[in-house]
């Protein structure tokens, strides 16, 4: 049993490249200070609340 290649596209062709979706909220080449602000400040703010703002 043979399959006509013109009837269906071959399955081994790679899928079209999807647009890059950033998995991080910051680019990988940014400064550590921006990483600290993005990641740790919301965590500290959530734990300490208003006490963090007083300091």
> pLDDT 10s digit of each residue in the chain, 55 long?
555 555 555 455 455 555 455 555 555 566 777 777 777 887 777 777 766 566 5
DSSP per position, the chain? ----TTTS--TTSPPPPPPP--SSSS-TTS-HHHHHHHHHHHHHHHHHTHHHHH-
Please answer whether residues 25 and 38 qualify as being in contact, where contact means their C-beta atoms are separated by less than 8 angstroms: yes
- Gap between the Cα atoms of 39 and 31, Å rounded: 13
pTM of this structure: 0.28
């Amino acid at each position: 049993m043979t399959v006509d290649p013109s009837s269906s596209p071959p399955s081994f062709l790679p899928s079209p490249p999807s647009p890059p979706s950033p998995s991080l909220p910051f680019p990988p080449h940014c400064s550590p200070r921006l990483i600290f602000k993005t990641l740790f400040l919301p965590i500290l703010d959530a734990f300490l609340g208003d006490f963090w703002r007083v300091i």
